[in-house]
Chain A
């Protein structure tokens, strides 16, 4: 006599089809970019607004400062229009004091260029007594002159290099362009992770983070989210990125991040938050609605730009500067962290969601980016965002390509071996990636 086991059969069917049904229902689908125009208009006002101490737009807080790098967003984001990148003058200096002898606590943060008064003004001396009392060291003082490219480029150490104690590292960050950044916010995490897996497959399932193969790695933040904004991919979404910038660059405390405490006045307490959540949302809406860059070449250069795109792929640039990511076309980035070599080291990701500039990140975030790990910057609009690299050390696109090291060494070497005509085609192609 045949016996039936309905419960067993049901359990088997559930086990087989349950996971599939669950995943189909919960699959993260791409969303259309929906920007509230009223919010964006209000945000534009705030983006252009020159903030002051005790600003009337900050009834609950102290307004600008006490330490800041600029008085408005547009002061730095101005190349090619509001929302663009910034020049060397807008660079931000960061420091990292490594714990070496047990006596010095590990800390890192930003040395802000300006303060509301001299008492709050931060200088390098606050980082280490051996350093001069300078607030805005030029990049050449930190880096040296003539760049630190490979080959026979003469490298002259910067003025500060000789003074720098062994356990102190200085670095700078150049202002990134914000065009099309709202689209980056919409890319599903799966697309970024898929890119990481494709790169691993391409190199025989090697893991990311090697210093030779161009295999990027996703930056998973402490809360499990995927980092995608900032030079170190230290922020997961645009709203956090905007609020971190408001606090770190303008000293405008907000619900997501408190304003930085001056290294010169550690006891200063702000009386309240400078920005409301609504103001933050308005600025975020404006930034999200910034138009995306365009890929356009003049009729005379169109053929060379087209050929240059083929060279771009041939050289291996497209391994990391992936043309399309998710549903976003022409972004030329994989949003992954890549090791760029000894010459392109910079202290770690202090410019983020941490409330104070003195929190040690490297020890508490062991999976965080290494000193030479950088997120692949999107190349759209690259024609209008000079200077290049994280600190703007490369004045031209050709310099930027040559300075690639670490995982990109192979591509840089292949670029060096190109004929002059091919190099020119590649540069023409890059110049066709223009701000809107």
Chain B
């Protein structure tokens, strides 16, 4: 019997029953994920077992996934192997690593059979649904990646509307004077900005993760994972403060002090903004699967670029171009927003265009990484040189 669950990145996973309660690694984002216990699965089906008689922490365990899943295997973390360990039933604060199936009473075995049968039926049913829903395959050439953002349009248009509304809201509460009396009452509102930024970044991360894992047939997004969203928001801020803030500030003060802008001034500001946006994108890509902020350092980014080849640089450059170009137009829209509410629609359009372009680029990057990884015999043990070689080899294969 298989167990279905999902990673915090939104990826749906499947494990064998004997891995229940153990750990596995998400194939999309490489995080360690706990495989739910069999008891939790039983509980989800309304079948009471001995283990479920004691209070359990609340976890969301979809018994049957609505989307295709990846099959996982048990992994070893450091020197510890997450094999079943004994636990007492009265230890209600500890999530059970594995349910004591062997302790189930003899008379409950019939129920257990029913559970297994129900799960098998359910699995068949959802496999059929997945087959029906899988109307598109993994992209093989880069222009096909252009279709991905159109498939994700509800998410992107929703995000664009949220950003446009947030912009209008910020204009409404914008303080005329930046003193403590004005900033302190507004500071909590900035949490929403960070969350929206985090959700946007998390969506882009999910796009890359989906592409890297070779997912097709559905759009990966952070859904209601507040933890991921908040972490992505903080990551985005850290990545900006770690370096891009410098060219951004130089560009800002140059714009402020340079009088009427001539062509040469526009070029300087354009270049500085491109550097800031490109650096920020690269830092985000470098930190994507990391937990330490030191991965936003310039050295880590250089190492990342060395390891991954030209693709991240190309994607970051194009993303920066998009962000700066549309950002310039968005400033005009903000100016217009002071005169007319109709500029909100203009902002939504600009944000949508920007998100479409970014999602396309990130999808392309993720899928290209998937093909690069697929060519490698052992992705975990491949060193930087191997990765580089594989990436070069795939470049022709994917792009042509």
A binding-site residues for B, Cβ under 8 Å: 15-16, 19-20, 22-23, 28, 188-190, 193-194, 197-198, 202-207, 210, 213, 316, 319
> Would you list 15 pairs from A and B whose C-beta atoms are within 8 A, ordered by A residue?
A16-B271, A19-B264, A19-B265, A19-B271, A20-B268, A23-B268, A28-B259, A188-B259, A193-B259, A194-B257, A203-B176, A203-B338, A204-B171, A204-B338, A206-B338
Cβ–Cβ contact A189 & B338, under 8 A = no
Query: Please, which residues of chain B bring their CB within 8 A of the CB of A204?
Result: 170-171, 174, 334, 338
Cβ–Cβ contact B176 & A202, under 8 A = yes
Distance (Å) between the CB of A194 and the closest chain B CB? 5
Across the interface, name the chain B residue whose C-beta is closest to A218: B260
Across the interface, name the chain B residue whose C-beta is closest to A192: B259
Interchain CB contact (< 8 A) of A190 among B177, B259, B267, B268? B259
B binding-site residues for A, Cβ under 8 Å: 170-171, 174, 176-177, 255-260, 264-265, 267-268, 271, 331, 334-335, 338-339
Query: Please, which residues of chain A bring their CB within 8 A of the CB of B257?
Result: 190, 194
Interchain CB contact (< 8 A) of A197 among B256, B264, B338? B256
Distance (Å) between the CB of B273 and the closest chain A CB? 13
Distance (Å) between the CB of A426 and the closest chain B CB? 17
Distance (Å) between the CB of B332 and the closest chain A CB? 9
Q: How would you classify the secondary structure of chain A's contact residues: helix, strand, loop or mixed?
A: helix
Across the interface, name the chain B residue whose C-beta is closest to A189: B259
Cβ–Cβ contact B265 & A23, under 8 A = yes
CA distance A198 to B331 in the complex (A): 15
Distance (Å) between the CB of A223 and the closest chain B CB? 13
Query: Please, which residues of chain B bring their CB within 8 A of the CB of A197?
Result: 255-256
CA distance A213 to B265 in the complex (A): 28
CA distance A202 to B256 in the complex (A): 13
CA distance A194 to B260 in the complex (A): 9
Cβ–Cβ contact A194 & B338, under 8 A = no
Query: In this complex, which of B170, B257, B259, B264 has the most chain A Cβ atoms within 10 angstroms of its Cβ?
Result: B259
Across the interface, name the chain B residue whose C-beta is closest to A313: B177
CA distance A204 to B333 in the complex (A): 12
Query: Please, which residues of chain A bring their CB within 8 A of the CB of B255?
Result: 197
Query: Please, which residues of chain B bring their CB within 8 A of the CB of A193?
Result: 259-260
Query: Please, which residues of chain B bring their CB within 8 A of the CB of A205?
Result: 331, 334-335, 338
Beyond A16-B271, A193-B260, 18 additional contacts (C-beta under 8 Å) are A19-B264, A19-B265, A19-B268, A23-B258, A23-B264, A23-B265, A23-B268, A189-B260, A197-B255, A197-B256, A203-B176, A204-B170, A204-B171, A205-B331, A205-B334, A206-B338, A207-B335, A213-B338
Query: Please, which residues of chain B bring their CB within 8 A of the CB of A203?
Result: 174, 176, 338
- Ranked nearest first, the 8 interchain pairs of A and B with the lowest CB-CB distance are A190-B259, A204-B174, A206-B338, A19-B267, A204-B171, A19-B264, A193-B259, A19-B268
Distance (Å) between the CB of B36 and the closest chain A CB? 48
Query: Please, which residues of chain A bring their CB within 8 A of the CB of B334?
Result: 204-205
CA distance A219 to B329 in the complex (A): 24
Query: Please, which residues of chain B bring their CB within 8 A of the CB of A28?
Result: 259
